[in-house]
Structure 1
Amino acid sequence: MDVVVASSSIEAGIGCWDLHTGAEQLRYKLCASPPHGLVCVGQRFLASSQLREPSASGSVQYWSWSKPQVDVKSFPAEQIKPLASNSVGTYIVGGGLSGNIYLWEVASGRLLKKWHAHYRAVSCLVFSDDDSLLISGSEDGGIRVWSLLLIFDDFRRQQQSQLYEHNFREHTLCVTDVSQDMVEAMPLSCLRHWIAHVWSISKGKLLRDIVFPTIVDAIALDPGEHVFFAGGRDGKIYVAALNAESTSDSKYGLHIIDCFSNHSNAVTCLVYSISGNCLISGSEDGMVRVWDAKSHNIVRVFKHAKGPVNNILVINSNFLR
């Protein structure tokens, strides 16, 4: 059983629904999260950075599964935008407006590492499947791959001219989303100028560019089908070929093989549920839609309390008890 968790950029709380029955679960209060600012930590609790004015101090809030009120609130040195947690929930990393990345130990709350990662604000963060790498995107247009072994090895860090394993950079526009293919080990970056770049981590090079007919803000991978879904500002969801061998051309553009839509506003976030074989999308229209990944038919619709939806997670409901 899976649960869909969604947050908004305004004080609308965190909505929670049973993916299979559509029943609404506990609603968590007092949350205004930035994009990529909501994370499930080790399947134990929720954490969210808070969207505030640039001059205001930053905070990160934590909720246990059983209580709607905020359990713990922390105040980092600066405002944090994206958050990520490794799979077992040992660490939380956050990206700051300054371009710094912070790494905290969950058990103690201690700041273990801090490094200057980008020239401008960090916009998105994701761990590799084996938790050995951290991939960061920034408003400066850069995507960098960090080895946690190097980050924690102070002696090796002193010997290195730079900390990152790879530095992928094509232009200076903001990186809006980063995902990783579980099969090919490729990070896929979605950028704010109608183009998605597919990079190879192992080779450290660009594999292909895919141009969309609209600005794209969110991506989700379908590892079984070797395609990915891209959420557009036009309210549509595009399906693009991920394999380097695929050269399909359609009315939507090279490598874009399909398109479907029911959102009235921009699609802001996407997540793929492997267990349910479905795609979940959030939009500025305040709706969360669940799609059959094969037929692209709508399975069910959830209404957030108010305001745009900008983060979606899918969590196994066994951990909510």
Structure 2
Amino acid sequence: YSDVSAVLVAVGFRKLVTGHDDGSLRVWDVVSGDDAVALSAHENAVSCLCEISTVSLRPGRVARRSSRRDETASTDTLLLSGGFDGRLVTWRVRDGNEPPERKRAWRAHDGEILAVAPAEGKENGVSFLFASCGNDGMVKLWKGADEALCAWRAHGEPVTCLASLGGGGKLVTGSEDGTARVWDADAAAAAAEGKKKFGSGDASPASDSGRVRRAYRWRSRHA
């Protein structure tokens, strides 16, 4: 096996997923101990992995005394991988020994993708599913596969990591510039939707200093 460059304990699938520097993914069944399923995922090293949940509406039964067909919500959990090739790939992981199904792949950043994270936000009526960042200094919010909601330059240097603040519509980013920043992703999403509908407004949360909630700077003291 090539060097492991990313790892994820996929709770929704009850599997362990490893990304490798040859661009492959391996899915391990931690319950049965079966050998890993190897997949060709990226043209370069796999840099990051996460799980995302998508909600789809499916037709239900036609109610009595009515011609209207009800819709039922179904939640699907997908695996998301990012790579140094600048691409994001979504995968549907199946039960048992069935190999994961590759759903969509698209170029998401100009340069290496360094981190992805689930980042659900719905407070302003605009939903998004996950966020990505890279060595281009950009952060992007995604409504779905290959469907970017908005993007902004978060740092002057590569954005090496990001995380969601527990469903509150906030994102934390860290960068090689020595800062960590907290962003109002809900505000950015709402501004992006307004700009799309009305042709005005700025989708960047950095355009209004009030939307950058707090910034921290420290000097690393590692040997």
Alignment counterpart, residue 212 of structure 1, candidates 108, 132, 137: 108
**2:159 is matched by which residue type in structure 1?**
V
Aligned pairs for 1:65-84 (under 5 A) are none
Q: Structure 1 residues 185, 167: closer, same or farther in 2, change over 3 A?
A: farther
Cα 1:148–1:302 change in 2 (3 A) is same
- Which residue in 1 is equivalent to 2:11? 129
Q: Tell me whether 1:299 sits opposite 2:196 in the alignment.
A: no
Contact residue 285 and residue 307 of structure 1 kept, 8 A: no
TM-score w.r.t. length of structure 2: 0.68
Evaluate the alpha carbon distance shift between residue 293 and residue 140 of structure 1 in structure 2; reply closer, same or farther with a 3 A threshold: same
* Paired amino acid for 1:190: G
Partner in structure 1 of residue 81 of structure 2: 189
3-state SS in 1 of match to 2:173: strand
Question: Going by fraction, where is helix more abundant, 1 or 2?
Answer: 2
Give the alignment partner of residue 182 of structure 2, picking from 290, 300, 307. 290
User: Which of 110, 132, 136 in structure 2 is aligned with 1:230?
Assistant: 132
Amino acid at match of 2:114: D
Amino acid at match of 2:5: S
Query: CA deviation digits over 1:28-65, x for unaligned, max 9?
Result: xxxxxxxxxxxxxxxxxxxxxxxxxxxxxxxxxxxxxx
**Unaligned residue ranges in structure 1 (runs of 5+):** 1-118, 152-156, 158-162, 244-253, 309-321
Distance change >3 Å, CA 269–CA 149, structure 1 → 2: same
Q: Give the root-mean-square deviation of aligned CA atoms.
A: 2.3
Q: Percent same amino acid at aligned positions?
A: 24
Tell me the matched-pair count. 169
Give, in whole Å, the separation in 2 of the partners of 1:300 and 1:129. Answer: 32
- Alignment deviations for residues 173-223 of structure 1 (CA, whole Å, 9 cap, x no partner): 100000111452211000101111111112721111121241211111124
Question: Where does the alignment leave 5 or more consecutive residues of structure 2 unmatched?
Answer: 55-75, 122-126, 188-204, 206-210
Deviations 1:127-181 (A, max 9, x none): 1225821111111111111111122xxxxx5xxxxx12x4331344100000111
TM-score by length of 1: 0.48
Deviation of residue 241 (structure 1)? 2.9
Whole-Å separation in 2 of the counterparts to 1:179 and 1:145? 13
Q: Deviations 1:66-89 (Å, cap 9, x if unpaired)?
A: xxxxxxxxxxxxxxxxxxxxxxxx
Q: Does 1:198 align with 2:81?
A: no
SS of alignment partner, residue 31 of structure 2: helix
Residue among 49, 57, 81 paired with 1:178: 49
Q: Provide the rounded CA distance (Å) in 2 between the counterparts of 1:206 and 1:304.
A: 41
Equivalent residues in 2 for 1:36-115, closer than 5 Å: none
Preserved CA contact (<8 Å) 1:200 1:206: yes
- Per-residue CA deviation, residues 251-308 of structure 1 (Å, 9 max, x unaligned), is xxx5222111231100101111225331111111111011112113311111132389
The whole-number CA distance in structure 2 between the counterparts of 1:206 and 1:307 is 42
> How far apart are the structure 2 equivalents of 1:262 and 1:130?
31
CA contact (8 A) 1:189 1:196 kept: yes
CA offsets, 1:224-250, max 9 Å, x none? Answer: 53432111212111122325xxxxxxx
The 1:307/1:264 distance shift into structure 2, 3 A limit, reads: farther
Aligned counterparts of 2:221 and 2:141: Cα–Cα separation in 1: 27
Task: Assess if the C-alpha contact under 8 Å between 1:230 and 1:237 holds in 2.
Answer: yes
For residue 120 of structure 1, give the secondary structure of its aligned residue in structure 2.
Answer: coil
